[in-house]
Amino acid sequence: MSASLLALQTSSEIARLLINGLQAGAIYILLAVGLSIILGTLKFVNFAHGALYIVGAYLGLIIAGMPTFSGKLAEWGFASPGLGWGYLAALVIVPLVVFVVGLAMERFVAQPFYDRPDTDQILLTYGIALVVAETFRVLFGGQSRGIAQPPWASGSATGVPVVGDVLAFLGVNAISTWRLVVILLTAVLVGIVFLLIEYTDFGLTVRAGTVDPEMVEMLGIRLSRPYLVVFGIGAALAGVAGLVGGPLVQFYPGYGGEILVPAFLTVVVGGVGSIRGAVVGGLAFGLIQSGLIQFGFSEWSQVGIYAFAAIVLLVRPQGLLGEEVAV
Euclidean distance between the first and the last CA atom of the chain, given in angstroms as a whole number? 50
Q: Residue 157: pLDDT band by 50, 70, 90 thresholds?
A: low
- pLDDT, average across residues 96-119: 94
What integer is the mean pLDDT of 174-186? 85
Q: Do the Cβ atoms of 52 and 100 come closer than 8 Å? A: no
CA neighbor of 284 nearest in space, from 261, 321, 309:
309
Q: Could you tell me the pTM of the whole model?
A: 0.90
Distance (Å, rounded) from C-alpha 241 to C-alpha 87? Answer: 14
What rounded mean pLDDT belongs to the chain? Answer: 87
- How wide is the angle at C-alpha 158 spanned by C-alphas 155 and 161, nearest 5°? 110
What average pLDDT does range 104-122 have in this prediction? 92
Q: What is the pLDDT of residue 231?
A: 95
CA 99 to chain centre: 14
Alpha-carbon distance of 10 to 15, in angstroms, equals: 9
Question: Strand pairing partners for 156?
Answer: 176
Q: In this prediction, what percent of the chain has a pLDDT beyond 70?
A: 89
Residues above pLDDT 90, as percent of the chain: 54
Using 50, 70 and 90 to split pLDDT, how confident is the model at 174?
low
Radius of gyration of the chain (CA): 21
Q: Is 90 exceeded by the pLDDT of residue 209? A: no
